[in-house]
Every structure is written in C-alpha cells, then in structure tokens.
A and B are shown apart, each in its own frame.
Chain A
Amino acid sequence: MHIFLQLVASGVAVGMIYAAIAFGYQLTFATSKTLNFGQGEALMLGALFGLTLVPFTGYWLMLPLVLVFGFALGALVERLGVRPAVKIKSEYGWIMATIALGIIFKNVAENIWGRDDLKFPSPLPEAALTFGGVRVLPMELLVVAGALLMMLAVELFNRRSIWGKAVVATSNDIDAAGLMGINTRKVITLSYAISAMTAAFAGVLVAPVTLTGATMGSVLALKAFAVAIIGGLESGLGVIVGGLILGVAETLTGFYISTGYKDVPGLILLLLVLAVRPVGLFGKAVIKKV
C-alpha cells in the first residue's frame, strides 16, 4: 500500500505534464480543428532554450523568457505549417507540415545541443519531502502547481480578456465569429502561440525531473495526445483527469511490470478509447449534418 501511494504520487506529477501538453492540443483544435504534430518539439525547444538561459538569468527569470520564446515559436508554426494548408482545406497538408516542422526543430536542436541528454539544474532542493511516509520531490510539487496555474491563467485569459473572448467565439463557430468582425486568422495564430507557450512551459517544468535532450518531446507529445483523447478534445476537466489516469497507470506499469513497458498503457488506452468511444470520456458526441 505504501509503495502504491508512492507510485501514485509520482504518477500525478507526470500526469500533470501530460495534461498541460494536452491542454495545448485542445486550444488549437478548438479554434481551427487542427493540431500541432510538433507539439513535443515545442516542449523540447522550450526546455533546451531554458537550459541555455539558466546560467545567465537563473531559473525564475528564465520562465518568462521561455514563455515568450514558446509564444513566438507557436506563431511561426501556424504561419509556416498550418495557415497555408487550412487555406487550401488540406488535412493531409497540415498534418505533414507540422510533422515536417517538428522534424526540422528536432534535427536543428540535435545539431545545436548535441544528441546526449543533459541535466537540467533544479531550482528547488533535491531532498525529498515526506508526507505520511510518501516521499515527494519539491520539484514534483512545482510541476503540479505550475501546470495547474498555467491552465488556470489561459482559462482566465479566455474568459476575461477581449482576445480570449474572440478565441472562445471562434471555437464555437468560426464562420459566425468571422462575420462578427473577429479576425479569425489572427485568433488561430494566437491559439497556436498560446498552445506552444504552454508546451514550452511544460518543458521547463518537466526538465529537472527527467533529462533534457532533443528526443525528449516525441513520446511526451504522443502520450499527451492519448490524454487529450481519453479526456476528450473539447473538455478542460477531461485532460486533467486523463493526465492523472495515464500518469498513474504508467508509474504502476513501470514498477509492477517493467520500465521498458512504461509507455505502453497510455498508447493501449489511446487505441481502446478510440475504438470504443472516439469522443473521449468527457467529450460530447457531435451530430454531423448532411
């Protein structure tokens, strides 16, 4: 039981990272029905960019700079990869283009930062805290808090600011929003920018817990997609629950079966959910009009 609780506790931290990335998928899917297949690379670039900054700025000052970096990166991806494809209504186009940009980012990162995993300095003490026998790293607490805060901030932005309301309006009905004078293209760019920003932020959050390197993003992004599917691509609460389910399932698998199979339950869960309930656990079925 003790070990079980310990595993759940570490699973929660990982799960929140998945939730944060999945949240980013939701943002772009809501406005433009597209996803950034290079989301993992945005996370990886955020982490590596942060790592380069830390010696100059320290951990806390680095965070806003990474946010700005992620924001710009997302806007770039949207302009280069998504907008031209959406214009010609080519689903294949944006899928391939975001994948291509992801590959390019990864390859460039490999050439700049090398192929080996790097150690990201932890801003908090490395000694574990103990809660009723369950050991928790301070960094894990920061991950959970940071991810939740991030999502909360974006939600507040969407509800309170005029641009946020434009995002919500575009998500509900892009044509109507356009007719109401909202520049929906800019809104889509904005949603990509915010999406990559959350990913980059998730990158610097997770980097001290895991290792940092050019390949760190791919698997995270895929599992975050599983989370987005399990929770439903339209449901904010869904990604948090989905993230927790997956994070815990993984640490349990890693401990009770084998660490080699740690990535499997998420992917199996993804396949199962899509086979049984494609809209996800919290999603609503959409009626298609003919």
Chain B
Amino acid sequence: MAPSASAPVLARETAPPAAPGLGRFAGILGAALLILGLAAFPHLVGSQYYIHLVTVIAIYAILILGLDIVVGYTGQVSLGHAGLFGVGAYAAAVLFLKFKLGIWLGLLAGIGVTAAFGLLLAIPALRVSGPYLAMVTLAFGTIVQIFINEMTDLTNGPLGITLPPARVLDFSLLGLSSPWGAAGRRLEFYYLVCACLLLTILVVNRVVRSPFGRAFEALRDSPIACDCMGVSVYRYKVYAFVISAGLAGLAGALFAWSERYVAPNTYGFELTVLFLLAVTMGGRKSRSGPLIGAAIVVMMPNILADIELVRMMAGGIAALAVAILAVAFLRRRENRFALLVPALLCIAFFPATLALQSVTDYRLTVFGLMILFVVYYLPEGIVGYLREKLPFLRPAHTGEGRLLTAAGEALIRQGGREGTDPLLRVEGAVMQFGGLKALAGVDLAVRPGTIHGLIGPNGSGKSTMMNVLTGIYQPTDGAVVLAGANRLDGRTPSEIALAGVARTFQNVQLFREMTALENVLVGLHHSFQGTLFDAILSTPRRRREEREARARAMAMLDFVGLGALAQVEARNLPYGKQRLLEIGRALALDPVLLLLDEPAAGLTAPDIAELTTIIRKIRDAGITVILIEHHMDVVMGLCDRVSVLDFGHKIAEGNAREVQSDPKVIEAYLGSPVADAAE
C-alpha cells in the first residue's frame, strides 16, 4: 500500500542524545579529507616508495572493507580471505601470461572469478558457523595455495608470474601521446587504485545500508529470528560471501599489477591473520576502521624494521602503561588487578626491544600480541573506541531520512480473512525427539479472525507446536495446512514466514545491535523488490522502497506504542518494550497468522495491560492470533477459543469458561485428586 496522500503525515521528532546530522557531517568531512588527501599525496610527497606504500594500503583497504561485511556485519570469521586475494591476483596475472590481456580485463576477471570462488566456498560454509566456518575457510585457503603451487601449466607454480608495468590509459590506441608526460604516467596506476578504493567505499556504504546490509546484521544477531522474518539466513550468507569475495578479487588483481609479481607463498595463513587483525583493530562496521587497520598492518613491517623507532615507541608505551597503572593503584580503581598483567607486559616489552638487535624476526610475535591486545582490550577497534568516547562520530545512517513519517493505517495488508473455514489446520502432528514424543498426534483448527489460546503445563508441547508451525522443527508425522490449501510442513522457516505466518519468541530474539526501526525494517524485508544492483546504484526504485518501508515501519512502531523509541538500539530498550518490539517486527511481515509465544512472561502489570490492548487491536485488524501464555487472566480475557495440551496430547478444547472447569485440565495443572488422596 502506497502512503495515501490523505493519510496524516506526522513529522517525528528524532532527537537521540547526539544530533544525528553531526554524524553524517563527520562522514562527509571524512570522505572529503580522504579524497583530497589521496589526490594531493603524490604531489606533496614525490618519493615513489611512499606512493607505492599508499597504493598497497589502499589495496589492502579494499579487501578489508569487503572482509568487514563478513566479519563485522554477518559476524562470521573467515580465514580464507588471503586465498581469495590470491585467486584475484592469479586471475589477473594468468590472463596476462596466457592471453596478454591487460589490467582492465584483469580487474574484471579478478572480481568475477573470485566472486565465483566465494560462491563455491559459501556452499559448505552455509551450513556452519563459528569455529567450523573458520576451519572451512582455512581449509579453502590452504587448498587454493596448494593448487596454485601445483598447477604449473596455468600458474607457473612456485616460480610465480612477472607482469610488465601496468598500462592504465592507452593513448597510443588513439594515436596520441600522453597529455601528462612520462612523470604523470607513473601516477596513473596510483589514481586507478584510489578510484577503486573510493568506489569500494561507496558500494559498501550503499550495500550495508540497504535491506541486504540489514539482513547481514540480522543474521548475526539472531539467525533464527532472521529466518522467521522471511529473510533466509542461507541466502544472505551467500550474498555476503560473494560480495566480500568480489572485493577481495578486485584487491588481488590490483595487487598483482601493483607488485608486478605474483607467487603462491604471498597468499598464506599469515596474510589472512593480518587482514583479520586490520579489521578488528580498525573497528568493525565502519568505513574508516578498515582504512586505519590497513594503514597499520601495511606500515607495521616498515616500522619494525627500524629498531630505533621501535625502541622509542616501546619506551612510550611502557611510560604510558606505568602512568595508567600508577593512576589505577593510587585511586584504587576496581580494575587495577585486571590491568596488572597487560601493563606489566607492555613495560617488559621495552627492555626486550633494547636487548634485541632486530625485531624483524619477531614480527609475527608482535602481530600475535597485537591481536591478543585488540581482542581483549579494544574489542570494538579504534573506531569503535572513538565512537564510544566521541558521540558525534557515531554512524548517522540509522537516522537516515530524518523526516520519519507514519503513514496512518498502513498496518494491515493480508488480514481480514473471514468465514468459518479454519485458517490453520493441524492434522495429527507428531514430533519425536529420540524416545520422547513431544507431540503425539495433535489436531488443531484455528478459525480466522480469532485469538486461539494454547495452554498447558510446562513441557506439554506448546513451544514444540510453535516450532513445528514455523518450520524450525520438521514434524515426524502429520500435516500443517494454512488457508485450506497451503501445506506448511516440510517448508523452511523463511518460506513459512513469507506465506504469512509470523511469530515471536519465548526468550526475546531481537536484532540487538540494530535500532527498533531497523528491527521492524527487517520484518518488512519482503516488501523490497530491489536487487543488489538497485542497492549499489541507488536507483529511484530503491529510494522509493526505502522511503515507503520506513514510513510503514514507523506506523508499526506507533501501533505497538514505540514510536518515540524508533532510534534506540534494541538491546537498550527495557524488557517490556523489547517484547512489544518483537510483536511490531512480526506484524511487519503482513501476517495472516501471528503466533505469540508467552508474550506476557516477565512483564509488569501495566505492561500486560498495554499488551492485551495491542493483541486485541491486532485481532480487530483481522489478523488471526495463536497465543501461548501462562498468565491465566490474560488467556481467559483474550482468547475466543482455548486448546489445552498435556504430554503432547490435546486434552481439552473449547471457550475459556468450558476449559477452565474441565476436570481433565484441572488434573493436568494441579494433579489428580485420587493421587493426592493416596498420599
């Protein structure tokens, strides 16, 4: 539904603690400084050595920006990015070696071939996460290295491939000579890399702020909720990997032409760890972080080669550690003992550098120590730390489209099904876990436009039923049918969600690091038709869809009474509001059926009153509700019909009064009078 012109358009105050405009301003300022700096650098510093250094930093930054999509946004550890980098480099180099094709086709091949490899890698990587994924990607990187070494016909094996100087702009094709002379020609490649870097920043910016980026973040925070919002975790992990791999390929191809030599040993485990160090140290989920990280890891070997400089830095660090430690102990800070070990290590580092003639041999040890330091004392990286200290650096994109409008009744789309035929039919559902039958042939018929209660003592199979209905469990036997013809059993959670079944969770499963508004926008993911290219090119369709979705999301937040909290991160909301936000997010799916799993659990009395009002409003809007709840007054007050489960069997069904007085129900909850008498 497009926001109708007559609908009241509310301009909303969005005044989070720091004015969001400032953050955006900082971003634009940073971008301008970067462009100016990159453009002026070769003219300020004539030395080829430093220009080359900046080129390498820029190339690394391209890869690390891509790696950040996987590590920062989707929260997966990839140890395969050096392998992908190598694939890109070899794609470009082999193209030249075999077909004498120059840098431009090399770049395209680098992106294409590596993205394809990313897709290949995603297949095993999809089913796993965490340490498994880390090992899979590590195995991938190792395989790549072995193949590069062994396929001598294609890659020249351990000898490597040497490339001539890159010919970026070929004026001779036009019969002209270069307008900027030989000295200018040497800078062509530098500017090409800079352009690629800026382009990468732009693309990554647009992707992470699009529905794709939101899906990446959502699948990190709660994969299961992500699937239940109709956003297939499976598919978006592939997207993240492929985009990330494409950028790694671009970086690899540029690197091949920058070094003009490729050899298998460059692309090993050490490089992968370096990339990860850069992304963590710089700060994830930012554009400036990878730039800073890249600069640090590229310059580090150069700094370490200069023993005097290292000693000076170690001295500085030691002095700082002594100062921090002294302050902590004098003021009797809480953390003074926790600081002791790292501070002593920092201090010990100084005499160690004095004793050593050269630190170069201990380069990897220094890197290892840096990783440990970053992991434990700077987990959000340099940028994350600065953002925490300086509010104006916080990202402004959550406040994008500052004029947040709530387009009136944009709430209900699919609801409003009337009639007496059941909307949802469950026939003989059996769910068996080993020897335990959590559901032993349960039938259920839910009439449209009603609130259907599902109650029973703990362990009676209520939540199992919920999981069977939403596809998280595949039922051992039986059928689940929506709206007369739509079989749900055997389909994936995201398919079921898109068919119109939304749910909330017993223990809140919000996307914690995203704002309330973004949480609802993930629920609205199904309303976006735009492709990845729409996102990258920022087409009119993409902008219109975003505008409409934001308006609807605001309307939904208003509906659940969270309009004023739209820009607050979900993890910072009070518990009661988190429950309501989950309902709002579920409504964004435009469901015909909404499953609420103990929505009142842990809520205070006023919160419960608000909740029951909202549930009634949802029913009145035409959405059918299944309610699992332990608060009997809520169930009795709301439900049109109640089913009672006990040990996987349905023992009673009827309206609230009937069920309440059913002796079997009383027995299930309170125990049998006969058994009590026997005691």
Contacts and interface: CB of A to CB of B under 8 A. Distances in A.
A287 B473 contact: yes
Contact of A278 (B127, B138, B270, B473): B127
Given A90-B379, A218-B269, A229-B135, A275 B127 contact: yes
Contacts of B136: 270-271, 274
Interface stretch (B139-147, B203-211, B292-300): B139-147
A96 B131 contact: no
Interface stretch (B88-96, B102-110, B165-173, B357-365): B357-365
A290 interface: yes
Contacts of B329: none
A108 B365 contact: yes
Count class of interface residues, chain A? 35 or more
Contact of A84 (B368, B376, B509): B376
Interface string B358-384: 000111110111011001100100000
B322 interface: no
Contacts of B367: 100, 103
Nearest to A266: B139
Contacts of B433: 287
Contacts of B407: none
A82 B505 CA distance: 31
Interface string A99-141: 1111110111011000000000000000000000000000000
| Majority-rule SS of B interface residues | helix
B142 A107 contact: no
B280 A96 contact: yes
Interface in A175-204: none
B371 A97 contact: yes
A288 B505 CA distance: 14
Count class of interface residues, chain B? 35 or more
B227 to A, nearest CB: 11
A91 B375 contact: no
Nearest to B466: A290
| Majority-rule SS of A interface residues | helix
A268 B130 CA distance: 19
A87 B643 CA distance: 43
Contact of B130 (A81, A91, A101, A102): A91
A143 B397 CA distance: 59
Nearest to B373: A100
B650 to A, nearest CB: 21
Given A103-B368, A104-B365, A260-B146, A275 B124 contact: yes
Contacts of B79: 99
Contact of A85 (B143, B280, B375): B375
Contacts of A91: 77, 130-131
Interface in B113-142: 123-128, 130-132, 134-136, 138-140, 142
Nearest to B269: A218
Interface string B142-178: 1100110110000000000000000000000000000
A78 interface: no
B564 interface: no
Max chain A Cβ within 10 angstroms of own Cβ: one of B135, B269, B433 = B135
B146 A107 contact: no
A161 interface: no
B379 to A, nearest CB: 7
A107 B364 contact: yes
Interface in A54-78: none
B74 to A, nearest CB: 12
A72 B433 CA distance: 41
What are the nearest 6 A-B pairs in CB distance? Answer: A104-B368, A100-B371, A107-B364, A275-B124, A260-B150, A103-B368
8 contacts: A37-B134, A88-B379, A92-B75, A95-B131, A111-B361, A274-B124, A275-B127, A290-B507
Interface of B: 71, 75, 77, 79, 123-128, 130-132, 134-136, 138-140, 142-143, 146-147, 149-150, 224, 269-270, 273, 276, 280, 361-365, 367-369, 371-372, 375-376, 379, 433, 463, 466-467, 472-473, 505-507, 509
Given A260-B146, A270-B136, 13 more contacts: A96-B276, A103-B364, A103-B365, A103-B371, A108-B365, A264-B146, A267-B142, A274-B127, A275-B123, A275-B124, A275-B127, A290-B463, A290-B467
